Amino acid sequence: MSSIAELTECVRAFAEERDWQQFHTPKNLAMALAGEVGELLAELQWLTPEQSAAVMDDEQLGQRVRAEMGDVTIYLVRLADVLGVDLVQAALDKLEQSSRRYTVEAAYGSVAKINGDHPPA
Amino acid sequence: MSSIAELTECVRAFAEERDWQQFHTPKNLAMALAGEVGELLAELQWLTPEQSAAVMDDEQLGQRVRAEMGDVTIYLVRLADVLGVDLVQAALDKLEQSSRRYTVEAAYGSVAKINGDHPPA
Amino acid sequence: MSSIAELTECVRAFAEERDWQQFHTPKNLAMALAGEVGELLAELQWLTPEQSAAVMDDEQLGQRVRAEMGDVTIYLVRLADVLGVDLVQAALDKLEQSSRRYTVEAAYGSVAKINGDHPPA
Amino acid sequence: MSSIAELTECVRAFAEERDWQQFHTPKNLAMALAGEVGELLAELQWLTPEQSAAVMDDEQLGQRVRAEMGDVTIYLVRLADVLGVDLVQAALDKLEQSSRRYTVEAAYGSVAKINGDHPPA
């Protein structure tokens, strides 16, 4: 099973082979990331919450959703590579920070904001 | 070094401890993902491409960018977990597909569309 | 009642008084637009569809949603001004185009794609 | 020249003729809005700031950018209609609020944050 580090290498090689680094400024990569997230949203936008929970049961729709998530991942990983950010560690650090603000006691069953921030996952 | 699978477990546990699964429909998670990508864009929006390439050199700005990328990763991983999508494999499959459309010969140094699709990384 | 043309003038004057035109490249404005749309999504992301239909009944939440929609409008109007696009006409032209693809007969009560495009409003 | 009120009527009629109100919850419309903003970003993502300033000089690219801005406008106007928000007034109110925080003296030629908020247009 491939790791995020291996994926990062593959995406970097893909870009370098095509001499695309010139286009990969952090601004451009962030825009591309937003574009792909938009495409993902478009697959889900008219579904009810229940239908959205069942997307992977529909072969064609499931494939499209999976493909868009693949595109989102490609750009996120590429942006992280260009900026030298360890995505997993950055995520773990945010979770740690969130766990101290959204303690189980304070946040159980509720997504009400605490200290002006939207609750994280 | 933590892996994406370990991160996925942490994010799932974080959500379950707080009884937040009820809020984690794919639609909601996709919206949250878009919201966090928006926050990332906001950190970069007024910078020139060159300034954006140097964001990590500024301690405060670099921390904010890293934090937003952490938030994006949290929601992407949570959405993938809820849908049962292997992000790394989905990304590798998209890269493979893209490599056949955007061959090195056809796409070297150019991001012109081939077959109506925006070039990937 | 103010018009979109008057708003455009106000936004332009606001930017020029502050010598902000230098930051208002179409790329930057598109990123800012996406950032504000992200903030709007964040206000709605954890709500059920029914709760989202009632947002304006909650004074604080309604004000935040209205404020975010104001921000989205500011950037959309500014981008249109910088590019010389008439937003209302562009929208009417798209609606006209969509009405020929998504005829009432073909699209009644259904948002299934026709000709590979997501149904518009 | 059509006004935003006339556009709102057209978009509403378009949706009602097709019995699409059922799909037009504020959440869905916000997702659709984000999807279209993503498509707009995708048209600009690989351009330099200078190239982005010249997009309307390229006939095909200019048409695509205009079309995406039309789609963004359609969904923004539809969301505003469903929520009962006057977009122009909401925008003017935000500009007024911003003018008091980002005074010309404090904000001239600079987009540095004041009071923790990203500078608006």
C6-56 pLDDT, tens digit each: 999 999 999 999 999 999 999 999 999 999 999 999 999 999 999 999 999
Cβ contact D52:C23 at 8 Å: no
Backbone angles phi, psi at C114, to 5 degrees: -125, 125
**What's the pLDDT at D2?**
75
Residue D97 pLDDT > 60: yes
Question: Which chain C residue lies closest to B26 (C-alpha atoms)?
Answer: C45
Instruction: Pick the closest to residue A6 from B107, B88, C67, D10 (CA basis).
Output: B88
Instruction: Pick the closest to residue B17 from A108, A113, A96, A95 (CA basis).
Output: A108
Chain B: list its partners (3+ Cβ pairs within 8 Å): A, C, D
Alpha carbon of C1: minimum distance to chain A alpha carbons (Å): 33
Alpha carbon of B101: minimum distance to chain A alpha carbons (Å): 12
Nearest to B34 among C28, C31, C41 (CB): C41
D interface with A, Cβ–Cβ < 8 A, is 23, 28, 31-32, 34-39, 41-42, 44-46
* Residue whose pair of structure tokens reads 């996952």 in the numeric block: A121
Alpha carbon of A120: minimum distance to chain D alpha carbons (Å): 18
**What's the pLDDT at B63?**
98
Chain C: list its partners (3+ Cβ pairs within 8 Å): A, B, D
Contact (CB<8Å) D4/C3: yes
Contact (CB<8Å) A67/B90: yes
Residues D86-98, mean pLDDT to the nearest whole number:
97
C65-94 pLDDT, tens digit each: 999 999 999 999 999 999 999 999 999 999
Per-residue pLDDT of chain B (121 residues; tens, 9 = 90+): 579 999 999 999 999 999 999 999 999 999 999 999 999 999 999 999 999 999 999 999 999 999 999 999 999 999 999 999 999 999 999 999 999 999 999 999 999 888 755 666 5
Rounded to whole angstroms, the Cα distance separating B44 from A62 reads 32
B interface with D, Cβ–Cβ < 8 A, is 27, 30-31, 34, 42, 45-46, 48-49, 111, 118-119
- DSSP 3-state assignment of C103? coil
**What's the pLDDT at A43?**
98
Contact (CB<8Å) B45/D118: yes
Supply A103's token pair: 């303690």
The b/e string for C85-106 (b: 16+ C-beta within 10 A; e otherwise) is bbbbebbbebbeebbeebeeee
Rounded to whole angstroms, the Cα distance separating C41 from B21 reads 19
Alpha carbon of A47: minimum distance to chain C alpha carbons (Å): 9
**What's the pLDDT at D1?**
58
Rounded to whole angstroms, the Cα distance separating C28 from B41 reads 9
One-letter amino acid for residue D78 of the chain: R
Mutate to test the interface with B, among D33, D43, D118 (most CBs of B within 10 A): D118
Rounded to whole angstroms, the Cα distance separating A69 from D3 reads 39
Mutate to test the interface with C, among D52, D88, D103, D118 (most CBs of C within 10 A): D88
Contact (CB<8Å) C30/D19: no
**Torsion, Cα of A50, A52, A54, A57 (10° steps):** 150
* Residue whose pair of structure tokens reads 């009642």 in the numeric block: C1
Residue A48 pLDDT > 80: yes
**C87-101 and C59-83 helices, crossing angle to 10°:** 100
Q: Which pairs from A19-23 meet CB under 8 Å and 24+ separation?
A: A19/B108, A19/B109, A20/B107, A20/B109, A20/B111, A20/B119, A20/B121, A22/B109, A23/B111, A23/D46
**Residues 6+ away with beta carbon under 8 Å from C88:** C4, D1, D2, D3, D4, D6, D7, D73
**Residues 6+ away with beta carbon under 8 Å from D109:** C18, C19, C20, C22
> How many contacts, defined by CB atoms under 8 Å, are there between A and C?
22
Rounded to whole angstroms, the Cα distance separating C38 from B31 reads 8
Nearest to C35 among B28, B31, B45 (CB): B45
DSSP conformational letter for D55: G
**Residues 6+ away with beta carbon under 8 Å from C1:** D86, D88, D89
Contact (CB<8Å) C49/D55: no
Contact (CB<8Å) B3/A6: no
